[in-house]
Chain A
Amino acid sequence: MLKILVIDDEKPTLSMFKLFLTAYGYNVLVAEDGKTGLEIFEKERPQIVFTDLKMPGMDGIEVLRNIRAFHETEVIIITGHGDMEKAVEALDLEASDFINKPVEKRALESALKRAELRIKHRGIATSELTLSRTSDSGICLRISGKLAGASSVEKQLQSNSNNSTIRNNSTIRNNSTICNKSTIRNKSTIRNKPTICNKPPIDYKSSRHDKSILNNDSFFKDINSLDVEFSADFSINRDGFDWLVNFMEWVKDHGISITMTGLSYNYIRFFQMAGLHEFANIITSKYDD
């Protein structure tokens, strides 16, 4: 029986979480503030922690920071509607997932399912990106594990491109580029660009890799659709999110339609909050059924 700790300063919310999570078959511990929550955490070592972001005294970010300093526990952040910046801050601190208040059944179940999956595959699953051509005019980008920023993405795509077998007998060439970052940087026509924080966007020039597959526009020649498939254990941090936003913006600007699948209910909500739905058609995940 998995142990779950819920930290929230609203007693009725705690009661409600306790009732539901107990019914789901978990051993539930509750704390009304961050400090008590950490004490319980140290004593009981729950596998999953839900913490509210806004709490008097020690807030959810501080709780997360303390747990993350030493432990791999799944920490799911409960955010109020519109706490975008805080949510991103939580992602930076390796929050496992987040759910919005009022918490929807689907969101809770999705967060739990994914947390359990990550616990199961802990130490096995690593970040992985694979590109494949699905048809003459379509490609698929599969993202699993943690998407942690431009350099790691490029490195992976590079390595991936060396080994990948593309369906329809096409291959990604070494010098293929799917995203010309200098083009993105030079473009000033993008409107309504999603922003998630005040942090300046990543300087793609400085992180550019000569041999990156992202340097070649020709890869996207004749491509009119991109499927981005997210695995069940997908997670993301601030840098990864910035990369994804810029990448999708660039793809969209090239007239390629984007479909996102496999995202958890919570990530869909988060991506919608960040405005990504304006670039892509987001399809509900099968994991949330």
Chain B
Amino acid sequence: MSNSRTFALPQVHDVIARKSLYKFLDSNQDKRVVLVQGQAAQGKSTLVASYLNRFSSQSESRIIPVWLHLGQGESDHTSLFDLMTNALLQRIPDQDAGRLTRKVTASPATLGTCEDIARQVDIIISIFDLMSNPVALVIDNLESIDSNASSWALIQSIISHTCETAQGGKLFLISRKFPPVNISRLKLEHRSLILANDDLAFTLEETGQFLENHCGNTLSSELIRKIHTITEGWPGGVALISESISRDVDISSFPLHLTAETFDYFSREIYALLPESIKHFLLRASMFDEIDEDMATELCDPDNGHEILTYLEKRNLFIQRLTSSQTSHKASSQANSVGLLPYHDRNMTRMAGRYYGSSSRHLPVCYRFNTLFKQFLFKALIHEISSDELKLLSKRAAHFFEKRGEIELSVRYYLDAEDYKMASDMIKKCATDILVRGLSPNLGTWIESLPETVVQSDPWLIYYLTVTRRIRGGRRNVDDFLTALRLFGVKNDIRGCMLATAHLIEAAVFVRKSPSRIFEWIKYGEDILARERDNPHFSWARALLWQHIAFGYIAGEVDIHKGLSSCKNAMILAKRIANSEIELNASIVMAFGYVRTGNFLDAKVLLKDIKPLTNEDINPEYRALNHLVRIDFALKQGAFDDAQKYLHDSEKDLEKFGLIFLYPGFIELKAMHRIYTGRFRGATSLAGHLSDFSILSGNTFYLALAHHIKAIIHYHTDCQQTPAYDDPDRKNKKYTLFESAMAESEKSLKTLREQKGEDARFFAAQALNGLILMKQKNYTDAQESLEQALDYFAAVSSGILWCETEAALGLLFWKKSQPALAKEYILKSLNRAFQQGYERFSLMAPSDFAEIVLLGICLDDSNTLFSALSPLIANKSHSSNEQFGSNVFTGNRVDLKISSLLKHPLLAADMNALDRLRHIYRLLLPRIDITTLGQFSVCVNNKPVADNTWDGNKPKLLLKSIICHNTKDISKEMIIDDIWPDASVKAGEKNFKVNLHRLRKTLEPDVNKQVGYSYLTMDTGRVSLDPELVTVDIDTFNTLAQQGYEKLARDEVALALLFFEQAVAIYKGDFLAEEPYETWIDLKREILRTYYIEILMIIARIHEDQDQPFQAVEYLKKAIQADPLREEAYQNLMIVYADSGMLTAATALYEKWRQVARSELGVEPGPETCNIYNKIQAIHLKNSRVVQFKKR
């Protein structure tokens, strides 16, 4: 019915300006939600309409008012959604039309089974967000919605969105009753405004003004006061009395209190006074929610219909004009300009056509009665005429609407007239259109109003009724579609058979009927399609049937390959008939098929291709599939944080929209994420959950997946444990997790072997099986498994699985001492993997992957892999962003693998390979940070080396000596001279040797014998700290200070300040302050301290130049603290104090310096200091005089 409505502001006549209320509303502009709640005829709508009219009359106003007048029909959320989207579509400015084209209908669920309300909320919110101007949405007559209606959820979501959005939209709710939404809470939070009955009542002044407008200046102030008292300012009451007065009714007989409850009484009074012709008109008009001039003439009064309407409007007799010709014309031209989807075209054209008529260019004006008045009139109509007469009137109305092309309206009146034959015919005439438009709830209500016998004998009525409960009908739908199909079959109705079969398959999949049962119906559908291959008709039904056959094959677990092929058929047909909805749905099913088979690459391409048909805002299936594809790619690229985010978003959508078919795929990816991030317990629980899902859905495929995941978990877990050769306990153990992995792998392979169209999954399981066999040293079977899988992946061009199977074979050949083959396979695989951006493999344990990468580096004579991977490994292994130990080069005991390779006989002669390995080993060593400014500390991987591991103080002193001499190429003699100055050469040498060894052991307790010590190197009697592995704070301090000076020299003061401040932050105390008696440290300490003070002075000066005295003071104080005898710092601080008006502080500082100079140095302050002091004193004196003068 919504398409017959208009959504512009109602025209309000003869209203009095409610200035105080306007002012109140203006002063609460920040409250986005306004509830206007009051009794009937309290002027609620008039207030909001006249208030918003003020804005629309302002040319600069950007607000778009959209007015929704609800009826009981809008208790259903789909009706309300329909009304809202139509309203927004009518009222959108031209510039938004194009962007909103695709937003007006909730796409029917393809993979989801939840109610459509969540989809509708998303769409309405996205329309609001897309509109360039803010919308003032008015929802009027809210009380007509049932208290437990589904629409409240939609309204609540719009309220929440209006409060939260950054856009300046506004929502007015008009209701007689307090609505069951959270307005009161919002009011407490100062986010909503409530205008109640008392707020809306007329003041005495307003009552007087209203009566003057209606009755002229004839009423005494006493009478006005009396009217105000008995009506308590109720606008409806005042209007009734004014009407009575104008008809010379004696108002002295009125009750003392006049409220909305007395409306009937007054309606009767007013009604009784009206001429018979108007009474006749009003009674008949009460049958309609809205009435236009044509209806008035044709159905109510052929002679004076138009005049009566105008008269009533002018008298303000509870009638409201809804539209002007301007707004209606806009609706029509808008519909043409936005280039809507076909069915919307039809709607809008029909709507426009209704107003225009087929030839006329004149738009009739539309009216609506006050609800209470209409109810009164309708009661009177029922009372006055017989039920047969009423049926005749209804039939006449039905004919009228049918003739005018408003089939949906005609249905209602045919039903009222109990003309079920015509009602059925009309329902069937408009049902397909309604269904395509988005399942109007009216359709179901209409069919349910028909006698059961009528419905049960008509397959179309059964079919339409069942489709209206497409999702919520559950298992009952299967029976009902079957009944419809049987009746269609009897009548040989091909189109009916096609549609019923299509929906039957879909319903069967939704309620998870067995694949064999679904296949029966698929087969039936395919037979019809084959039989009707040459039939030129029913293209839409044919495309829909292909779409659902595809859905049945894929989501019903019948045969994925056939499903993909059916998707293609549906898409081709849909394109041919330009039905974008079927094309989109078939594509989504196809993308699901790809995701289901693990073919994320094709899914990604397809989803990109269909992007123009939809978007993520409005299509949860599209969004969820995109998320799954993104998760898969993020996992392959090692971007586990991104994957986590998409998993989170996905989970929300899956639950919200009931996307049951995507759920197992989601669980699988979530389990893989857990495995890759080392959380095996969580992964095991998810595999168990997948197994539960499989049992509940009666589907063995997911059980196979659960076994596959469990196999991966066992294999990864065992790989992560200390290798057997390094763990004597494990060497003796007979049972390892690889055996559990193998058991699970066998189960998975066995089940997958029986599944149709699951080759990709089967061979992935086969590849995993090969990996596990290799771990069990069963190289022959492993090779067979891996080669079979490789052949398959090569044939279907599967990226990552081909890479890892190829690499696994390479590793296998290495283990079989076939280096040439190993080299060929590994290099081929790695080159392709890194080209594709894979940072890990999907099945392979990270430790095996790391071993393959190390082998690749060794076996690649060209050094290409080494050059490409070295920086990558260096960055990754020490990245601060590392999450969950994601990097395969950390936490997988790669050091042990390198050690093992370094002594591998096949590599013994290859010096280059060994050098490359040693280099990689060094890159993977933990970094050491040494702090010398302030408290001395040594941290390995951010963990401090404990004091008891130092083996005495001498190794520590040795390190300090190396640092003191700048860490590079320090001759051992210098060090001996520092630490053992009195020792003989021989004793010194010995001490050096012993303590160097102790120091090295402290820094690198688990030294790799093949690589040797890495942090401290000794070359021809000279010691160095490796600058790539060891960071010393004084080096950082010097570098930052140097950068500061460079920036300062280039006048880049802000950057200079940044570097200097960082340098200062590092200087936490004097260099090796804990060694006051080691005189060889003094010089370095003094140099660094001087450098530090200089930097402080510079920073202070920069702040001083930038008029930031407080910051300058702070740094100068630090300088004095670091060197209390630095006169220059005192001078500068005195100047800063004085310049900032802190003369007392400046004087005190001078005094302090004089004392320090005298006591510490035995001198007086220098002439420069005295000069500054004198200037300060002069200012002090001058200021005192000014003060005294002012006092006087």
Contact = CB atoms under 8 A, between A and B. Distances in A.
A19 interface: yes
Interface stretch (B171-179, B690-698, B762-770, B785-793): B690-698
Contacts of A1: 472
Interface in B695-714: 695-698
A127 interface: no
A23 B698 CA distance: 15
A221 interface: no
Contacts of B695: 102-105
Interface stretch (A10-18, A186-194, A195-203, A233-241): A10-18
Contacts of B691: 102
Given A15-B655, A105-B512, A20 B697 contact: yes
B326 to A, nearest CB: 44
Nearest to A26: B474
A23 B693 contact: no
Interface string B465-485: 000010111111100000000
Given A23-B510, A104-B698, A16 B658 contact: no
B512 A16 contact: no
Query: In the complex, which of the residues A16, A19, A20, A103 has the most CB atoms of chain B within 10 Å of its own CB atom?
Result: A19
B1062 interface: no
Contact of A19 (B477, B658, B686): B658
A70 interface: no
Interface range, A side: 20 to 34
A108 B697 CA distance: 10
A104 B514 CA distance: 13
A23 B512 contact: yes
B1120 interface: no
Interface in A108-139: 108
B245 interface: no
A24 B697 CA distance: 12
Interface in A1-39: 1, 12-13, 15-16, 18-20, 22-27
Contacts of A101: 692
A187 to B, nearest CB: 41
A25 B512 CA distance: 12
Given A1-B472, A102-B691, A22 B696 contact: no
Contact of B476 (A18, A25, A102, A105): A25
Contact of B655 (A13, A18, A23, A25): A18
B696 A25 contact: no
Contacts of A19: 113, 654-655, 658, 660, 663
Contacts of B654: 15, 19
B658 A106 contact: no
B119 to A, nearest CB: 14
Contacts of B660: 19-20, 22-23
Nearest to B651: A15
A16 B472 contact: no
Q: Which of B471, B685, B691, B693 has most chain A Cβ within 10 Å?
A: B693
Contact of A25 (B475, B685, B689): B475
Nearest to B692: A102
B114 interface: yes
B511 A16 contact: no
Contacts of B685: 12
Interface string B239-274: 000000000000000000000000000000000000
A269 to B, nearest CB: 13
Contacts of A13: 689, 692
Interface string A86-114: 00000000000000011111101000000
Contacts of B655: 15, 18-19
A22 B113 contact: yes
Contacts of A26: 474
B472 A25 contact: yes
Interface string B909-949: 00000000000000000000000000000000000000000
A1 B148 CA distance: 14
Interface in A33-47: none
B473 A25 contact: yes
A16 B511 CA distance: 14
A22 B472 CA distance: 8
Nearest to B697: A105
Contacts of A25: 469, 471-477, 511
A16 B693 contact: yes
B1158 to A, nearest CB: 77
B113 A23 contact: yes
A10 to B, nearest CB: 8
Contacts of A108: 696
A103 B474 contact: no
B529 to A, nearest CB: 27
B347 to A, nearest CB: 29
A20 B474 contact: no
Interface of B: 113-114, 469, 471-477, 510-512, 654-655, 658, 660, 663, 667, 685-686, 689, 691-693, 695-698
The 4 closest A-B pairs by CB, nearest first: A25-B474, A105-B698, A23-B113, A19-B660
7 contacts: A16-B692, A16-B693, A19-B660, A19-B663, A24-B474, A102-B695, A105-B697
Interface of A: 1, 12-13, 15-16, 18-20, 22-27, 101-106, 108
Given A15-B663, A104-B695, 16 more contacts: A12-B689, A13-B689, A16-B689, A18-B655, A19-B113, A20-B512, A23-B474, A23-B511, A23-B660, A24-B511, A25-B471, A25-B473, A25-B477, A102-B692, A105-B696, A105-B698
